[in-house]
Amino acid sequence: MNKKIIVFDFDGTLVNTMDRLTDIASHVMADSFGISEQDARRLYQLTSGLPFSEQLKTLYPDAAEKTSAAAGVFERQKKEGYFNEKCFPDTIETIRYLKEKGYAVIISSNSAHDLLEALVKKLDIPCDLALGWKENFGKGLSHFLYIMERWGAGPTNMVFVGDSLKDGEWAYESGIDFIAKEGTFQKDDFQKRFPDVPVISKLSQLREIL
C-alpha cells in the first residue's frame, strides 16, 4: 500500500475495551427496553462503531426519552472504569514501528474527545493526533476530511484500521482503504460485506501489509 497516514479506530482496535463496553451496554439495554441480555449484546455489536446514543436511536427511533436516559447511564458507567483500560499487547510496538517507517498515526474514535485524549496520554500511545467525538464532529467523513486538510493528503494516501462493520462502511464511503481487525466481528463477517478487505487478528500483522 502506498500510504502515508494510518488512521486507527480506538475501542477494540488499539485498546481492549469491547468486552467491558458490551457488558455495560447489554445490561443497560436489557433494563431500558425489556429485552434479553443476549439479544442486547447482539444488537449492540451489530451497530458498534456509532456513539452509543446513535446506536440506540438507530435501534429505537420512536423512543427518544428512553434512548436518551439509557445513553446517559451507559456513558456514566463507561467513564467509571475508562482509565483502567489497557492497550492490546502489540499496540505500542506496532505504532512505533509504523512511525519509524514514516507514517503519520492518527486515532479516530467516537468516545468523547476529552476522555479519549486523557486515556491516550495515560497509556502513552505515541500517535500524532487523537480525535474523539464532539458535536457534529465524529468518526467517519468529518474526521477524515479534517485529517486530509491538516496533512495535505487525499483519500488514496490514507488507510483506516477498525474492528467494526461500520468502520468499513465509513472508510469505503469516504474513498479510503480499510483494514479490518477481528474481535467484535470475525473474518467471514467482514468479507461478506467487503470481499477484498484485508483482515488481521492482531495489530502486529500490519507489518506484513503496510
Note the pLDDT tens digit of each residue in 30-81: 999 999 999 999 999 999 988 999 999 999 999 999 999 999 999 999 999 8
pTM recorded for the entire structure: 0.92
Give the distance, in angstroms, between the CA of residue 164 and the centroid of all CA atoms in the same chain.
7
Average pLDDT, the chain: 95
For the 5-16+86-208 domain, the top CATH level (class) is alpha beta
Give the distance, in angstroms, between the CA of residue 205 and the centroid of all CA atoms in the same chain.
18
Task: Write down the domain spans for the chain.
Answer: 5-16+86-208, 18-83
> SS3 sequence, 116-155?
HHHHHHHHCCCCCEEEEEECCECCCHHHHHHHHHHHCCCH
Vertex 154: Cα angle to 152 and 157 (nearest 5) = 100
Task: Say whether pLDDT at 158 is over 80.
Answer: yes
**Pairwise CA distance, residues 123 & 84, whole Å:** 10
Looking at residue 1, its pLDDT comes to 59
Question: Are the C-beta atoms of 169 and 189 separated by less than 8 Å?
Answer: no
Looking at residue 210, its pLDDT comes to 87
Neighbours of 165 (CB within 10 A): 21
